[in-house]
Amino acid sequence: MIQFQLNKASYTPLYKQLALEFVRQIREGIMLPGTQMPSEREISDIFKVSRTTARQAIDELVIQSFVYREQGKGTFVADPGMRDLMGFTSFSGHMRTLGHVPSSKILQKKIIKPDEKLRAILRLEVGENVLLLERVRMADDKPMALQYSHIPEKLVPGLVDEDLTDKSLFDILKNRYFIFPTWSEAKVEANVLWEHDAEELDLEVNSPCLIVRGLTYTDTFDVVESVKTIYRGGLTLHIGRQKMLI
């Protein structure tokens, strides 16, 4: 590991600065697969941060599958194959991995003016607009989820006119706009379906569902997307390394 300086005046939290630098060193081969990570205490001592900050940085790397923990031994850099399998993936990519054919039905696709809360979440200036994309996400033509995505318009000029019916949004971001979604964070809650959501998912009102509210970032922690996904009950979801049955 090459030591580095944290910018304590930055708006980026210290734990994310730590995680980002470790990711860079892992990707550039400075920290090879199987290398043992410094302990929380060592990170705290080296970078003059709290143990909580050190723990958050390591947790972030574990969630994104750049490192893994072995009980009683420590934390180690993961093999790239493990990252590809367990790490960040899109809905379309995940469905293909499971052997299904993904598709989408577009319900809304328009440019909107964000309210103050959404503008703050997406780190926008006053006057900047947002692309709203509402889709039913399907596997083998069966509705799996209802998804509301909000993306800064300045990142995706012209996307509002694109036919996204059977296309992966993340593939378009990478191939057309050279935006590479890398990190995500999410909050999960159990709930029941309201009338509109139930109708689109072909379920009864008040059927159980799981709501995942998340943010997607580039590898430099620029916000790409704020997304709310409502999953039908009876699915097994993989969020980071966590498996959830709903």
Mean pLDDT, the chain cut into blocks of 10 residues (246 residues total): 79 86 87 92 93 92 81 84 49 74 92 95 94 94 94 95 84 86 81 94 93 83 90 65 35
Q: Is residue 9 part of a domain?
A: no
Query: Which tokens in the block code for residue 170?
Result: 């993340």
Q: Is residue 136 part of a domain?
A: yes
- Tell me the residue length of the chain: 246
Task: Please report the pLDDT score of residue 89 as a whole number.
Answer: 59
Q: Is residue 181 part of a domain?
A: yes
Q: Please give the mean pLDDT across all residues of the chain.
A: 84
Give which of 98, 136, 143, 104 is closest to 234, Cα–Cα.
143
Choose one of 86, 111, 139: the last residue of a domain: 86
Each residue of 135-169: b (16+ CB within 10 Å) or e? bbbbbeeeebbbbbbbbbbebbeebbeeeeeeebb
Q: Is residue 222 part of a domain?
A: yes
Query: Which tokens in the block code for residue 57?
Result: 């940085």
How far apart (Å, rounded) are the C-alpha atoms in residues 186 and 209? Answer: 16
Task: Please report the pLDDT score of residue 245 as a whole number.
Answer: 34
How far apart (Å, rounded) are the C-alpha atoms in residues 58 and 70? Answer: 13
Task: Please report the pLDDT score of residue 244 as a whole number.
Answer: 34
Burial tier of 19 (Cβ tally within 10 Å: 0-12, 13-18, 19+): buried
How far apart (Å, rounded) are the C-alpha atoms in residues 38 and 47? Answer: 11
Task: Please report the pLDDT score of residue 86 as a whole number.
Answer: 39
Choose one of 62, 86, 110: the last residue of a domain: 86
What is the tens place of the pLDDT at every residue in 139-178?
A: 899 999 999 999 999 999 999 998 888 788 888 888 888 8
Q: Do 81 and 101 belong together in one domain?
A: no
What range defines the domain where residue 45 resides?
14-86
Choose one of 86, 119, 147: the last residue of a domain: 86
Asked if 130 and 152 count as a contact pair (C-beta separation under 8 A), the reply is: yes
Q: Is residue 152 part of a domain?
A: yes
Task: Please report the pLDDT score of residue 199 as a whole number.
Answer: 95
Q: Do 131 and 191 belong together in one domain?
A: yes
Q: Do 106 and 190 belong together in one domain?
A: yes
Q: Do 112 and 207 belong together in one domain?
A: yes
Task: Please report the pLDDT score of residue 8 as a whole number.
Answer: 83
Q: Is residue 4 part of a domain?
A: no
Please report where in the chains the tokens 């050279």 appear, as a residue: 178
Please report where in the chains the tokens 């916000």 appear, as a residue: 223
Q: Do 66 and 135 belong together in one domain?
A: no
Q: Do 97 and 45 belong together in one domain?
A: no
Asked if 211 and 229 count as a contact pair (C-beta separation under 8 A), the reply is: yes
Q: What is the pTM assigned to this prediction?
A: 0.63
CB atoms within 10 A of CB 41: 10
Give which of 66, 14, 8, 12 is closest to 43, Cα–Cα.
14
